[in-house]
Structure 1
Amino acid sequence: MHLVHDGGRSETMEAAWLIGCDGAHSFVRRRLGLAFEGDTLPTGFIIADAHVAGLAIAPDEPAIFWHSDGAVMFFPMAPGRYRIIADIGSTPLHAPDLKEVQAIVDQRGPGGITLSDPVWLSDFGVNERTVRNYRAGRVFLAGDAAHVHSPAGGQGMNMGMQDAFNLAWKLALVERREAGPALLDSYSIERSAVARQVLSDSGRMTRIVLLRSHLAQWLRGFAVQGIFKIPLVRRTVANRLSGVMIAYPDSPLNAGFARGLRGARPGQRFAADYAPGAGDLPRFTLVATDDAQARAMMARHTALLKPELRQPPRKGIWLVRPDGYVAATARSGNWPVIEAALAGMAADPSPLNRRF
């Protein structure tokens, strides 16, 4: 690989793996010839980060105001400062000035709102695109290089970080030859499914904001005002947008679902408070009753299992991945299920199979 740095300095580098995290216009993706499939919405948006006075809402809450010409949205950024976003229909994209943004706020807002001291004025279009496969041999895509979507719901940054975390622990285990290379095949399967769901959710929210029919706008307002007063609905939406409801039900790593066993299933987060220790090497965690069989299991799989045993919240066995998701479950004493799950991910010790 030939690299050219700022200033003209160049070097040749050899790397075992390449991860393209180079954004929506990814050079890596284009060089791989991977199609970025999807659509571009015909509606443009303007955006402003500015000081806001006269907005009568709690300082830490967002606000959205509906109007027949479109919506204007306020998102708190710092005390007294908000990010303002408004759709501009088919008007060509352009960087607005503060006067234009103020006029939109006056027209669509409740009145009495004054903008000042802008730190950023810009525009953006909305693309809803993704690649089918996040992997091509030893090259992977992550973040906006693999998927772009509407900013509705604010999930873009989290999506990219979750891609990186999902890939990092798998790549670390494979690179250290503590897990087989097939482990990496699960990255695209798991994360592309999440991207499709987020693209669907954010696209649906964007289209709701952009409704133009007067009847549709009335129904939207009625539904939003009524449904979002229900605490359960508010919590569900918050959990979905924050990413805590993400699961991998179709992951090839899932094994041993035990019917009737209460608790997280394979592909689900084990617990809200589960997190690997800072600086820990990626290892699976065994959650089971402390007995001789559990200790023997840990001794046989030292490359994959942490040398610590977590006590289960109830009867059963859980094999928890380094990212906190469940890989396998079994009833108490049914160790062959856990053994098979670990064996399926373990590296082949044969010297003939150490090159991939």
Structure 2
Amino acid sequence: MSKPVLVVGAGPVGLTMAAELARYRVPVRLIETLPARTDQSRALAVWSRTLELLDAAGCADAFVATGLHASTLGIHSGRQRLARVTFKGIASSFRYLLIIAQSETERLLEEHFLTLGGTIERTTELTGFVDTGEGVTCTLTHAGGESEHVDAGWLIGCDGAHSFVRRRLGLGFEGDTLPTGFIIADTRVAGLALPPDELAIFWHHDGAVMFFPISPGRYRIIADIGAAPPPAMDLGVVQAIVDRRGPGGVSLSDPLWLSHFGVNERKVRTYRAGRVFLAGDAAHIHSPAGGQGMNTGMQDAFNLAWKLALVVRGEARPDLLDSYSAERSTVAQQVLNDSGRITRVVLLKNRLARLVRCLVVRGLFRIPMVPRAIANRLAGTRVGYAHSPLNAGCATGLRGPRPGQRFWADHPLGRGDAPRFTLAATDTPDVRVIIARHAALLNPAPCPPPDKNGIWLVRPDGYVAAAARSADWLVIDAALARIAASPPVPERI
């Protein structure tokens, strides 16, 4: 039996990581210091790309049935709508933003993990670890104070912005803190003349106020408040801001959560140190603008889990794991850049800058491709790994995605208990030769290619690892050989 992978933190990222490893039949232990999952709404947004990956994991249906399907984002100034972004043009089978409380996300992921035979070891804290090169010797402290020593094969820190794993590794969390704070309220809203599935941003010279529907009649409200938090945080403070910055006639009641927060924009340079990895907020934090944080972290987990599973199962070389940091660090930097830009545009205070902002937004968003491009960027369907060390070949002259790009939206990712690559190619004897030669890595049947003149090697997470013209099987063979743990079965190609 392999040494277990120890996952630290049972938030959405840690639960996703542990569930994917369990799905791939990798021994895993999931520990959490808290006695129970959160009962707060916290992160609300689950975007299309995350839903696609949850669908491949076999649990998207429960999410889709539980959450609210938001279809549009409106940008307003007072009672005037400046622009509208519809999510119906997202290039995915999930053409909406799923609004679901983090408490529900954790519940659904926990139930999924339990069906895979997993357990969450709560009130258990990681208090020390040493990477021996052959494994990670970890010290756990349980609720009663007793210690346990665990000989783990790998350690994954999904333990949040104040990550013990990151601090113990001595990795810098580089970045800045924005000079302004925000208030947040989950409350009942009456008098808001908007479709119930629309997100809305209202700009005002004092700042912005944003409404995000959670359930019928209930919204999350976020507004910037400057550098100093309010002396007393109550619903009256939020109501006064809504009265001043919103469309008018809106009344708030029955708050479930009132708080204020600051925004940090920070990231580690590398997500891996030997046999120890970081994922989610332990590796990157940024503005909540665009609802990217939890999605980026969960996609970290999906990215690492299939690679680690192949290595633990002895089916791939250990250096496959080097691609995790290379790929996900680049994505996090792009998210930091995008969310930072959105936040700074929303927080403009200069009168001339605000006037220009309104004119530019009103003009640009009338061009159909602009709101469509923004919707797909937010949805994560344009996330890619253009510079991944796993990429090989090219799709020049072919109708289809390039190496590092996501394969088509409806690609039937495998739901099996082993992470497998898929060949997208016309079924020919050559295809069968390659499948037999790399049986440990490939699904036993190909899927239809986007262009009959090409071959695509699709990773377990749905991104293209290699592309070539139909006769150029050496490209595909070499790409698989670089990953395989042992030489492929000798066979003439």
The TM-score with structure 2 as length reference comes to 0.69
Spell out, residue by residue over 1:22-41, the C-alpha distance to the aligned partner (whole angstroms, 9 max, x if none).
00110100000000000000
Question: What's the counterpart of residue 143 of structure 1?
Answer: 280
Give the aligned partner of residue 9 of structure 2: none
8 Å contact kept, 2:414–2:420: no
Alignment of 1:199-218 (within 5 A): 199-218=336-355
Where do 5+ consecutive residues of structure 1 fail to align?
350-356
Tell me how far 1:243 sits from its aligned partner: 0.4
- For residues 173-195 of structure 1, what are the alpha-carbon distances to aligned partners after superposition, in whole Å with 9 as ceiling and x for unaligned? 01111111110000000000000
- Structure 2 CA distance, aligned partners of 1:309 and 1:99? 60
| Deviations, residues 147-174 of structure 1 (Å, cap 9, x unaligned) | 0000000011110110000000000001
User: C-alpha distance in 1, partners of 2:450/2:364?
Assistant: 34
Where 2:171 maps in the other structure, the secondary structure is coil
Contact 2:419 2:460 in 1 (8 A): yes
The 5 A counterparts of 1:1-356 are 1-92=138-229, 96-314=233-451, 315-348=453-486
Q: Post-superposition shift, 1:221? A: 1.7
Per-residue CA distance 1:58-87 (angstroms, 9 max, x = gap): 111011111111111111111001100000
CA contact (8 A) 2:414 2:460 kept: no
In structure 1, what is the Cα distance between the partners aligned to 2:413 and 2:437?
21
User: How far apart, CA to CA, are the structure 2 residues paired with 1:319 and 1:303?
Assistant: 14
Tell me how far 1:312 sits from its aligned partner.
1.6
- Sort the Cα spacing of 1:38 and 1:275 in 2 relative to 1 into closer, same or farther, 3 A: farther
SS in 2 for 1:49: strand
Assess, with a 3 A threshold, how the Cα gap between structure 1 residues 94 and 189 changes in structure 2: closer, same or farther.
farther
User: Residues of 2 paired with 1:95 and 1:337: CA distance?
Assistant: 64
Give the % identical residues: 71
* Displacement of 1:222: 1.9
Q: Counterparts of 2:264 and 2:325 in 1: how far apart (Å)?
A: 21
Distance 2:168 2:447 in 1: 46
* Equivalence for 1:354: none
Amino acid at match of 1:53: A
Report the alpha carbon displacement of residue 230 of structure 1 after superposing the two structures with TM.
Answer: 3.2
Give the direction of change, closer, same or farther, for the CA distance of 1:262–1:31 in structure 2 (3 Å limit).
same
2:12 match: none
**In 1, Cα distance between equivalents of 2:289 and 2:395:** 38
Structure 2 SS opposite 1:47? strand
Structure 1 residues 283-306: Cα deviation after superposition (integer angstroms, max 9, x where no partner): 110111211111111111111111
Q: Determine the C-alpha separation between the residues in 2 that align with 1:279 and 1:157.
A: 25
Q: Counterparts of 1:333 and 1:75 in 2: how far apart (Å)?
A: 51
- Do the aligned residues in 2 keep the contact of 1:94 with 1:122 (CA within 8 Å)? no
Structure 1: distance between partners of 2:380 and 2:263: 21
- Flag the 1:132–1:187 CA change in 2: closer, same or farther, 3 A: same
CA deviations on 1:4-50 (whole Å, 9 max, x unpaired) are 12343432211000000000110100000000000000100000000
Shift of 1:93: 6.6
Give the 3 Å change call, closer, same or farther, for CA 149–255 of structure 1 in structure 2.
same
Give the superposition deviation at 1:94. Answer: 6.6
Structure 2 residue matching 1:188: 3-state secondary structure: helix
Equivalent pair of 2:178/2:263 in contact (CA under 8 Å) = yes
CA distance in 2, matches of 1:106, 1:287: 56
SS at match of 2:288: coil
Higher relative contact order (CA 8 A, sep 6+): 2
Q: Deviations over 1:193-217 (max 9, x none)?
A: 0000010000000000110100111
Deviation, structure 1 residue 270: 1.1
CA distance in 1, matches of 2:264, 2:232: 18
Matches of 2:258 and 2:317, distance apart in 1: 49
For structure 2, list consecutive stretches of 5 or more residues without a partner in the other structure: 1-137, 488-493
Length-normalised TM-score, structure 1: 0.95
Q: Distance in 1 between matches of 2:396 and 2:445?
A: 27
CA deviation profile, 1:123-164 (whole Å, cap 9, x unmatched) = 110000000000000000000000000000001111011000
Output the CA distance in 2 between the equivalents of 1:110 and 1:26. Answer: 41
Q: 1:95–1:123: 8 Å Cα contact kept in structure 2?
A: no
Distance 1:233 1:258, change over 3 A: closer
CA distance in 1, matches of 2:195, 2:399: 40
Cα pair distance change 1:70/1:265, threshold 3 Å: same
Change (3 A) 1:293 1:64: same
